[in-house]
C-alpha cells in the first residue's frame, strides 16, 4: 500500500506543526498523568522485541559476533540447547 492508495489523505499541515514550539502545542484535551496512573502502569514489551532486551557481557557478545554475522541466531541456539539439556 502506498500513500497514493489512501482514500482519505491527511489535511494536516505538517510543516506548520513541525515549526511549532512546545509552548504553542495545545495539551488541554490530554488528561494529566497522576501518581495513581504510574502505580497501575505496566511495561508491555511485544514478543518480537523481547529478544532484543538481554544483558550480555561485552566480551561474550564480541566472541559471538566474531563467529558469524548471524550471531543473534547463534546465541539463541546456544540458549535453546542449554534449556533442552536442562530438561533431560
Which carries the bigger pLDDT value, residue 5 or residue 33?
33
pLDDT at 19: 94
Q: Give CA–CA dist 9/47, Å, rounded.
A: 32
Please, which residues have CB within 8 angstroms of residue 51's CB and are 6 or more apart in sequence?
Answer: 72, 76
Closest to 61 (Cα-Cα) out of 46, 49, 50, 71 = 71
Q: Give CA–CA dist 29/26, Å, rounded.
A: 8
Closest to 74 (Cα-Cα) out of 87, 84, 60, 85 = 60
Question: What pTM was estimated for this model as a whole?
Answer: 0.44
| pLDDT at 55 exceeding the cut of 80 | yes
Amino acid at each position: 500500500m502506498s500513500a497514493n492508495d489512501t482514500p482519505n489523505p491527511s489535511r494536516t499541515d505538517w510543516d506548520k506543526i513541525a515549526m511549532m514550539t512546545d509552548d504553542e502545542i495545545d495539551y488541554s484535551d490530554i488528561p494529566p498523568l497522576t501518581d495513581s496512573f504510574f502505580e497501575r502502569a505496566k511495561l508491555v514489551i511485544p514478543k518480537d522485541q523481547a529478544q532484543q532486551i538481554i544483558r550480555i557481557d561485552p566480551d561474550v557478545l564480541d566472541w559471538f559476533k566474531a563467529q558469524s554475522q548471524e550471531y543473534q541466531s547463534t546465541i539463541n541456539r546456544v540458549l535453546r540447547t542449554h534449556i533442552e539439556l536442562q530438561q533431560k
